[in-house]
Amino acid sequence: MFAPDAVGALAAAVRAAKQGDPLAPVTVIVPTNAVGVTARRRLGADGGVAAIELVTPGRLAERLAGADLAAAGRRPVSTPLIDITVREVLRHAPGHYASVAEHPSTVTSLRDLHRELRMAGPLAAAALRGASSRGREAARVSSMVAERLAEQWYDEADLITAAIERIRAGVRPFESAVAFLPRIDRGLPADLLRVIGDATDLHVLVEWTGIESVDAEAAGFAAALESPVEPVGGAAPTVPADTRVVSTTDADDEVRHAVRQLLDAARDGVPFARMALVWPTDRPYARLVEHHLDVAGLPWNGRPGTLVTERLVPRFLLDLLDLDRRGLRRTELFDLLADVPVNGPDGNRVSVARWERLARAAGISRDDHWTPRLASLAASMRASERDQLADEAEALSAFVDDLRRDLGPRSRTRTWSDWAEWCERQVLFRLGRSVLDQLDEAERLASDHANRVLDRLRYLDTVGRPVTRSEFRAAFAAEFEAAPGRLGRLGDGITIGSLAGTVGLGADLTIVLGAADGLLPPPPPSDPLISDADRRAAGLGSSDARANRIHRSFLSHATTSSALVVHTPRGDLRATTDRLPSRWVAEHLTDADCSTVASHHAGLVACEFPGSSGEHRLRSRAVAAADGIDALVAGCAD
């Protein structure tokens, strides 16, 4: 069911669970905190409700079993820890992976598959082992990794399994509950909901589209819960009357046009908090949306296009740890110095431009050029009585020597805690407290996350051998795969994000970008380790699962919004290819109003209100050219 049916169904389920007592406690299990906040606000706007608690499945499992696992001396597992364990397994028993055991992609693929198998339940590895020789090897590595970690560490699968055992042992987590739009995942998540349903009164509300191929997973999920499917309302999703399809030239023009539409809606009285701007794939839309919204000065919340690893502190550490991978070259050193504000040995900010001119004048390119050539340059400068430049050359030489001492040989090994302390010293010494104290919200969150990553890496001393700088960097970078993905608070400005990550918003205006074949639906992912048949045998998601999930998300957005705008790019200027509209547009939006924006110039001239000061200036020149006022621009106009 979809909103308003989904929200209405949730309200009805909560009322039924309360059995006439408005103060009776009811727990609502939501897939994400964002869905929980949205559901709470929608319930409040529809008349209000008291004594409900919204909780995610992970938080519920942690509440039920986290204390027991901690009391047993087990700690939460981390991405670098799994990577280290996978490498150890491959080092001692590589099996079929012997020729690629040292390749980072092998470790990453085995880690991701291990996590999937763990969440699929205790029988998944055995099923995969019997599916094929490829499946047998992958299952073997996963089982060995799980055995090595079991004594001292726990993952999400252990947490859910322990929570299931506690409920089966008689622990009653609550009297009644409603699972609202849960992720369609079989295995342990479904097992948890099933045992909750056995112990308490549980009502599960799943998305139901009325499209057999899309609903097949939901039907399988319901079967795993041993529960019949009872669709709420009509089976076919209904799009709003105010639905428009806009054809634009490419992704960049899509986003520019979408920003103008958001401004027009705001001028018509729609609050920014009731708008959503979503896309099927992060590339290229996440970064474009963040940029154009910031240029327009519009408030937003959600997943930014700028990665956490591109923020100041993580970027500085990642670049510094890998600075001399080919020796300390001039270009790579000055790329780092130009990218981040760095202090010299005296604690003062280095003069990057002047130092680079001196390095070029000295003819430095390779690692072994620095000391002799800077010394020769300084001597020649003093001979010609240019003492200030000679001092600068000597300061650069001292900086390079100091940096070399800090970095040490690339083959040197240190403990994990030593490397973590080294990184903290480098941040404080080379960036300085003054820079860290002036970070904005996004940079501060990234810096805090980097500090938490370093704290987690210290614990690897208990399981991992001392590592080289490059190995430490790989583990540090891997931790950022789970970096915090949101900026701002839900309800403060326009909500942005991927289609799959923003379900359940129920906005007054939703703009969907990238509705073109090859983007919506996205191409199926390929698994380098096992086949689709192996995945089905083990109960893992098939290559079609992602497309079905995004199809449900697209229909959810299309039927929960009061107004819907879908953008279809006609081409991709980066790849110099044409694009066709998504087949889902023709399937679901047959009665939509269609329009075409011929070019950036045409859209800018025709719009009611440009999206930024730059667009205001461009349009004023274009209008002047059209009126014959500006002869220079008139000669260049479309």
pLDDT digits (tens, 9 = 90+) for 442-478: 899 899 999 999 998 988 888 778 999 998 998 898 8
Q: pTM for the complete prediction?
A: 0.86
Query: CA-CA distance, 205 to 229, in Å (whole number)?
Result: 9
- What pLDDT does residue 3 have? 45
Average the pLDDT over 608-629 and give the result: 82
- What pLDDT does residue 632 have? 54
Highest mean pLDDT among 488-492, 611-615, 623-627: 611-615
The amino acid present at 415, given as its one-letter code, is T
Phi and psi at 116, nearest 5°, equal: -60, -45
- For residue 248, give the 3-state DSSP assignment: strand
Q: Tokens 């000679």 belong to which residue?
A: 390
Considering only residues 326 and 567, tell me which one the structure prediction assigns the higher pLDDT: 567
Sign of CA dihedral 443, 448, 449, 454: positive
> What ranges make up the beta strands (E) of 206-348?
242-248, 275-279, 300-302
Average the pLDDT over 616-637 and give the result: 69
Q: What angle do CA 406, 408, 414 make, to 5 degrees?
A: 95
Q: Is the pLDDT of residue 501 over 90?
A: no
Length of the chain: 638
- What pLDDT does residue 218 have? 80
Query: CA-CA distance, 257 to 280, in Å (whole number)?
Result: 17
Highest mean pLDDT among 126-135, 177-186, 488-497, 628-637: 126-135
Other CB atoms closer than 10 Å to residue 288's CB: what's the count? 20
Contact 463, 376 (CB under 8 A): no
- Which residues is 275 bridged to in the sheet? 509
Q: Is the pLDDT of residue 331 over 80?
A: yes
- What pLDDT does residue 237 have? 65
Query: CA-CA distance, 50 to 25, in Å (whole number)?
Result: 8
Predicted confidence (pLDDT) per residue in 527-569, tens digit: 899 999 999 999 888 878 888 888 888 988 888 888 999 999 9
Query: CA-CA distance, 255 to 250, in Å (whole number)?
Result: 9
Tell me the two tokens of residue 190.
């479904």
Query: CA-CA distance, 327 to 332, in Å (whole number)?
Result: 9
> What ranges make up the beta strands (E) of 485-533?
494-498, 509-512
Predicted confidence (pLDDT) per residue in 408-454, tens digit: 998 899 999 999 999 999 999 999 888 899 998 889 989 999 999 99
Considering only residues 582 and 502, tell me which one the structure prediction assigns the higher pLDDT: 582
Tell me the two tokens of residue 315.
């970027």
Q: Is the pLDDT of residue 638 over 50?
A: no
Contact 348, 320 (CB under 8 A): no
Contact 208, 529 (CB under 8 A): no
Query: CA-CA distance, 378 to 340, in Å (whole number)?
Result: 26
Residues 6+ apart with CB under 8 A from 196: 29, 167, 173, 177, 202
